[in-house]
Amino acid sequence: MGGGGGIAASSLPGHVLERVRRHHPGPGHDVLPIDDHMVHRGHGVFDTAMILDGALYELDAHLDRFLRSAAAARVGTAPFPREALRRILIQMTAASGCRMGSIRYWLSSGPGDFLLSSRGCPSPAFYGVVIASEYEQCGVDGTGVRAVTATVPMKPPQFATVKNVNYLPNVLSIMDAEDRGAFASVWVDDQGYVAEGPMVNVAFVTPERELVLPAFDKILSGCTAKRMLALAPRLVDAGLLAGVSTRDITAEDAKRSAEMAFVGSGLPVLPVVEWDGKPIGDGKVGKLMPALSDLLWEDMKSGPDRIPVPYKQ
């Protein structure tokens, strides 16, 4: 991946520092204060929106979740109103010239001191970066991926439902999965119910052809997963799915699914054909997860939640 463009909004009212990086940046192009509490205390939140064919996809849904996370994490009021943040992100994407990739942005409690409390931070700080990448629909080759049950403890709901920068459990979980030859792991809670992956939601098609996603009350409310739930009734109308729901599902029942997939912005749907060394369904990519992936991909390419980026000619 290469850097497309960076922006940092300081705690000073109305002050925006813009930088455009059209090539791979050298050292020192983007500076984050070491006394920012997001750096040394992990007190901050973030979110990401995809850039596809010169348009931002579901920016509003991601920005709304971003601000909900900020309120839950008590990082203070953003240095700009919501609409100003939205304009900054769109203008930043335009300045970068990036037409395929993502835009990631953070709100921290800000720089101030090295104490535990953020009381000494005068004001929150907003940061963002455009990341260019050859983004494409995953799983179209029909091979699918492997999953394993996470051995790293999952976050409690208070932290799991907030998209915060405290990602050490996620990092250790994905590294453990990679060590075990899997694409990602799946967290299962103390009651045996499926939760989520370290950077994705999970979805299942039951033997009765019902699409099931774990309820969002204890896990992150994935924007792509929610969009899948909104689009999936089209397959019900076509007679391919029998129903769509979010509910608790045990790992034991989930492993008996006909189909399984990881769901996330960067995929958007990646079929899983094996979990803990045992096949999901017949161990091959089925027909329904690719069909759901096609619905999402079409929505990302031409749906109503796209914001055309006003690039300079």
Place of tokens 């979110």: 47
| Residues in contact with 63: Cβ distance below 8 Å, sequence separation at least 6, in sequence order | 47, 49, 82, 85, 86, 89
Three-state DSSP class for residue 261: strand
C-alpha 296/C-alpha 301 separation (Å) is: 9
**What are the DSSP calls for 117-154, one per residue?**
SGGG-SS-EEEEEEEE-----TTTTS--EEEEE--SPP
C-alpha 220/C-alpha 216 separation (Å) is: 6
Active site residues: 163
Sign of torsion, CA 261 248 44 153?
negative
- The DSSP 8-state label assigned to residue 217 in this structure reads T
C-alpha 94/C-alpha 206 separation (Å) is: 43
**Do 85 and 94 form a contact (C-beta atoms < 8 A)?**
no
- The DSSP 8-state label assigned to residue 132 in this structure reads E
Tell me whether strands 44-52 and 55-57 are parallel, antiparallel or unpaired. Answer: antiparallel
Name the token pair of 158. Answer: 């208070």
Intra-chain end-to-end CA distance of the chain, in Å:
24
Report the run of H or E that residue 273 belongs to, with start and end.
strand 269-275
Name the token pair of 102. Answer: 């993502």
C-alpha 309/C-alpha 11 separation (Å) is: 27
